[in-house]
């Protein structure tokens, strides 16, 4: 069995389309907003990863969201660029159509709530009105592109008969992809499978469209529900890198893709994802958003291929398959732990960056190499994670404020003193401040150099690798007028890493001041 699709041509029944919504649903998660440059970096990385569709944003939400979708549409070469719109909003659909217009391949994704709860309390609409808006929304979207997707928001809690009517109307009025989201993460795998099987059996024209699944992780079932939806007939997976998204997040792209690859006996599907790129894209997103992946995260967590138990270690040494169901290399990890030392040259450093998944320009490589040499003098052993932390910190766009230098005088007899230099808008400024400890003194110096009203909401320090000479990775959370931003910094000196994290957070806060917040919506 196969389906003819305007963007893909013939789609065989074992083909799964990967629809990534990191830049839309993922970015709506509190604290995960990205600026334009960061979104463009992520879009390029997603295309290189092999995703089929990038949902680039919700264009009508704000001028900033419109611009980011439009710039992504101009930048992406082959991947479909999708804009979100509400079915009942003519302005929504026009904005989406205009924003995606530069893309070589483009899609409009329009949606409306269909559950009794949402229709009564959120929309305050009768079912017949919802059906009318489904029809008009898809018709309007077809004026801009032949590739139209329609979603039933809160579809998993929609009455089956009404859901069938909605899908039938959507198909008749031009939708060629039908998405049934588990918007609040309420469904169980057997329920999701049954919903898709029912729609394919009961709805006229269902055999001519691609069914899509979009699952939230409120009960920790997003990936399991996604796999079940495939068994029920869905052939598009909506997911995000690292599983980010509203509330508890979405189905994680890396998890469902590797589940398909590893358990092909149960999930006999194919996709275009270049799995060795998964780790580098995961780390790029963590760096951009300043939210580290938890150590025990499947596939991309630092403990995913780590073995401490003596029994496990014995098994791994005899045969890795005893405790590893996939190879580290298949998702981008490398077995090499000791990477480079103080005698290593620039060429070896560049080769290592390439092996770790980085593709940097000459200037950035040189800047990172200079920091690496300093680190190598301070540490006996430089590990892959040290290199990643160093490079991620160096390649981050620090915007208006950049760290220059920090000198500290600290001890038990006198107040700590920090002499800090920052580059602000191209001008190097200095402050010498005392405080209750070296971190307090350094943060007070930042306040003196760049006065601001933000308050410190979180300060956290973790070691990148083991040992007393480990690099410190610091997270700083600032709050200003209800807005929260997280910044990260890495350095062999804990206080320097703290200053770098504070400066990163402050730059993100400055971006928030000048950028309208997108309206929070969830499919």
pLDDT of residue 380: 63
pTM above threshold 0.75 = yes
**Positive or negative CA dihedral for 117, 123, 128, 131?**
negative
**Any bridge partners for residue 57, and if so which?**
83
Choose between 295 and 180: higher pLDDT: 180
Contact 43, 23 (CB under 8 A): yes
Which percentage of the chain shows pLDDT scores above 70? 92
Query: What's the rounded mean pLDDT across residues 481-495?
Result: 85
- The H-assigned helical ranges of 60-152 are 63-75, 90-100, 116-117, 127-141
Burial (Cβ within 10 Å: 0-12, 13-18, ≥19) of residue 176? buried
CA angle 222, 226, 228 (to 5 degrees): 120
Neighbours of 469 (CB within 10 A): 15
Asked whether the predicted pLDDT for residue 400 surpasses 50, the reply is: yes
On the question of pLDDT at 398 being above 80, the answer is no
User: What single string gives the DSSP state of each residue in 453-496?
Assistant: --EEEEEEEEESSSSTTPPEEEEEEEEETTEEEEEEEEESSHHH
Q: What is the mean pLDDT of the chain?
A: 90
Of 102 and 295, the structure prediction assigns the larger pLDDT to: 102
Nearest CA-CA partner of 495 in 430, 451, 425, 435? 435
pLDDT for residue 106: 98
* pLDDT for residue 128: 98
Q: Give the confidence band of 183 by pLDDT, cuts at 50, 70, 90.
A: very high
Residue 518's pLDDT is 41
Q: Are 515 and 489 in contact (CB under 8 A)?
A: no
Q: pLDDT band at 110, cuts 50/70/90?
A: very high
Phi, psi at 382, each rounded to 5°:
-110, 120
For residues 63 and 229, what is the distance between their CA atoms, to the nearest angstrom?
Answer: 36
pLDDT in tens, 20-61: 999 999 988 877 888 899 999 999 999 999 999 999 999 999
Is residue 90 over pLDDT 60? yes
Task: Give the phi and the psi of residue 176 in degrees, each rounded to 5.
Answer: -115, 0
pLDDT at 115 over 70: yes
Q: What is the pLDDT of residues 233-278, one digit of tens each?
A: 999 999 999 999 999 999 999 999 999 999 999 999 999 999 999 9
What pLDDT score does 316 carry?
A: 67
Distances (CA, A) of 272 to 53, 276, 382, 474: 11, 12, 34, 36
Q: Is there a contact between 489 and 500 (Cβ–Cβ < 8 Å)?
A: yes
| Confidence band, pLDDT 50/70/90 cuts, at residue 523 | low
Mean pLDDT along residues 304-314: 71
Pairing verdict, β 53-57 and 338-340: unpaired
- Residue 517's pLDDT is 45
Indicate the range of 13-22, 103-112, 167-176, 472-481 predicted with least confidence: 472-481
pLDDT tens for residues 5-31?
999 999 999 999 999 999 999 988 877
- Residue 347 confidence class, pLDDT cut points 50, 70, 90: confident
Residue 274, classed as helix, strand or coil, is coil
- Name the pLDDT band for 456 (thresholds 50, 70, 90): very high
- Is-contact 23 42, C-beta < 8 A? yes
pLDDT higher than 70, residue 464: yes
Distances (CA, A) of 356 to 329, 331, 350, 464, 465: 11, 11, 10, 16, 16
**Residues in Cβ contact with 426 at an 8 Å cutoff, skipping those fewer than 6 apart:** none
| CB atoms closer than 10 angstroms to residue 325 | 9
pLDDT surpassing 90 at residue 77: yes
């Amino acid at each position: 069995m196969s389906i003819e699709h305007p963007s893909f041509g013939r789609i065989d029944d074992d083909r799964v389309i990967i629809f990534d919504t990191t830049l839309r649903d993922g970015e709506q998660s509190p604290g995960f907003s990205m600026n334009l440059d960061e979104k463009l970096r992520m879009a390029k990385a997603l295309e290189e990863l092999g995703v089929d569709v990038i949902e680039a944003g919700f264009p009508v939400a704000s001028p900033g969201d419109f611009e980011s979708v439009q710039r992504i549409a101009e930048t992406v070469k082959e991947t479909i660029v999708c804009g979100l719109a509400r079915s009942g909003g003519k302005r929504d659909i026009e904005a989406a159509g205009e924003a995606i217009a530069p893309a070589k391949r483009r899609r409009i994704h329009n949606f409306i709530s269909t559950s009794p709860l949402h229709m009564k309390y959120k929309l305050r609409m009768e079912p017949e009105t919802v059906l009318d808006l489904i029809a008009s929304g898809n018709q309007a979207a077809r004026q801009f592109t032949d590739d139209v997707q329609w979603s039933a928001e809160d579809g998993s809690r929609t009455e089956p008969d009404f859901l069938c009517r909605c899908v039938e109307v959507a198909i008749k009025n031009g939708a060629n992809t039908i998405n049934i989201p588990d918007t609040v993460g309420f469904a169980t795998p057997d329920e999701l499978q049954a919903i898709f099987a029912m729609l394919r059996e009961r709805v006229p024209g269902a055999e001519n469209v691609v069914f899509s699944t979009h699952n939230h992780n409120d009960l920790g079932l997003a990936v399991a529900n996604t796999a079940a939806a495939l068994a029920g007939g869905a052939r598009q997976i909506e997911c995000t890198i690292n599983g980010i998204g509203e509330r508890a997040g979405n189905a994680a792209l890396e998890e469902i893709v590797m589940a398909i690859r590893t358990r092909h006996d149960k999930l006999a599907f194919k996709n275009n994802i270049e799995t060795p790129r998964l780790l580098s894209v995961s780390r790029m997103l963590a760096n951009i958003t300043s939210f580290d992946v938890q150590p025990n995260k499947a596939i991309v967590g630092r403990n995913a291929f780590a073995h401490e138990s003596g029994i496990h270690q014995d098994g791994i040494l005899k045969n890795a398959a005893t405790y590893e169901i996939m190879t580290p290399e298949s998702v981008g990890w490398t077995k090499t732990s000791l990477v480079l030392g103080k005698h290593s040259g620039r060429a070896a450093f560049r080769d290592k960056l390439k092996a770790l998944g980085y593709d940097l320009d000459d200037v950035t490589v040189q800047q990172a190499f200079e920091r690496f040499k300093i680190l190598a003098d301070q540490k006996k052993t430089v590990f892959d994670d040290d290199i990643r932390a160093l490079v991620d910190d160096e390649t981050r766009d620090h915007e208006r404020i950049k760290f220059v230098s920090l000198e500290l005088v600290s001890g038990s007899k006198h107040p700590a003193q920090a002499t800090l230099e920052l580059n602000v808008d191209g001008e190097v400024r200095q402050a010498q401040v005392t405080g209750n400890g070296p971190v307090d003194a350094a943060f007070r110096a930042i306040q003196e150099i760049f006065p601001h009203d933000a308050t410190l909401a979180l300060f956290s320090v973790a070691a990148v690798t083991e040992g007393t000479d480990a690099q410190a990775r610091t997270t700083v959370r600032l709050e200003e007028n209800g807005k929260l931003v997280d910044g990260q910094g890495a350095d062999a000196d804990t206080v320097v890493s703290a200053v770098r994290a504070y400066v990163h957070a402050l730059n993100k806060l400055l971006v928030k001041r000048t950028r309208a917040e997108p309206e929070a919506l969830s499919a």
